[in-house]
Amino acid sequence: MAMKKDLLSITDFSKEEYLRILELAAEFEENPNQELLKGKVVASLFFEPSTRTRLSFETAINRLGGRIIGFADPDSSSATKGETLHDTIKMVSNYADLIVMRHPLEGAARYAAEVSKIPVINAGDGANQHPTQTLLDMYSIMKTQGTLDNINLFMVGDLKYGRTVHSLLQAMSEFENPIFNFIAPPNLKMPQGYLHHLQEKGIRYFEHEEFTDIISAADIIYMTRVQKERFVDPIEYEKVKDVYILNNEMLKNTKPNMRILHPLPRVNEISTDVDANEKAYYFEQARNGVFTREAIISHVMNLK
């Protein structure tokens, strides 16, 4: 039997596989309803609630004609009765054809994939990985810029704890000539390990504490939320909280091709006056998630 394919971490896939998935995502955007999962059962296991991700996945599965079993939160899973992850996965992998799982513990998806006979897609494992988010971010960049090469990518906000920016950095560093601009308060800077990764690959990056003056160079602005809980000293938070808020006025001199991405949910880091601007792309980005997830499911299950 051929080795089963899983998607657990963004670095599990090669550049060729990224491009293949993005190509498939474009096909699904053209024609979202394809009965490729007809007669198949997908287990959607959310050991931690995440309505947004779950609905996106379940929409993708429905559009592919598959059926869904599973649970939306840990209270309705057997985990609350003390069943181990090992046993839940063993059982489910005897019932279904694919597992989509979200879990609060880091590394849970990789462990599940080892236990499972059927493919596993990681829909988020704690602060570790959320690879389908990264692929939908890449699809959004590809769609709006026409390429993943030569992108000047601004990452703004909490760059220390934000798993989405870490994975996107890893994935985009596989493409030609990216430039990274990191804009974060001193306590939430991009961790050294990731900067070191860029240095080793000879990729240019710049670190800033604010971005109003440099914003005109951006092709993509990837916004994340600066959370108050990340600050030991509330005064420090008060000092920086408004620095990382994007408003419509700031977009005046930005490039025509520039687009704003955000993994959502947004709190206040993008003013609502930006929403009407054609450069606001975050709601489209969420819509792209369905096509990207259809593509990922097709890829791991060899449906196309």
> CB of residue 84 vs other proteins: minimum separation in angstroms?
6
Buried b (16+ CB within 10 A) or exposed e, 47-85: bbebeebbebbbbbbbbbebebebbbebeebebeeeeeb
Is 40 assigned a catalytic role?
A: no
Catalytic-role residue among 15, 38, 52, 117: 52
Give the whole-angstrom CA distance, residue 282 versus residue 280: 6
Nearer to other proteins, 23 or 106 (CB): 106
Q: Which of 193, 202, 234, 256 binds other proteins (CB under 8 A)?
A: 193
Among 36, 47, 3, 118, smallest CA distance to 293 is for 36
> Using CB under 8 A, which of 6, 7, 9, 24 touches other proteins?
9
C-alpha–C-alpha distance, residues 296 and 117, integer Å: 18
Q: Is 81 a catalytic residue?
A: yes
Contact 260, 274 (CB under 8 A): yes
Look at strands 179-183 and 152-156 and give their pairing: parallel
Q: Which one among 53, 93, 128, 285 touches other proteins, defined by CB under 8 A?
A: 128
Residue 108 in the binding site for other proteins (CB under 8 A): yes
Q: Respond yes or no: is residue 130 known to be catalytic.
A: yes
Q: Which residues contact 82 (CB under 8 A, 6 or more apart)?
A: none
| Among residues 23, 35, 91, 105, the one that binds other proteins under rule CB under 8 A | 105
Given the residues 54, 63, 88, 102, select the one marked as catalytic: 102
Count interface residues toward other proteins (CB under 8 A). 18
Chain residues 144-183 in contact with other proteins, contact rule CB under 8 A: none
Beta strands 179-183; 220-223: pairing state: unpaired
Quote the least distance from Cβ 273 to other proteins, whole Å: 38
111 binds other proteins (CB under 8 A): yes
Question: Which residues of the shown chain bind other proteins in the complex (CB under 8 A)?
Answer: 9, 84-86, 103-108, 110-111, 125-129, 193
**Which residues are tagged catalytic?**
52-53, 81, 102, 130
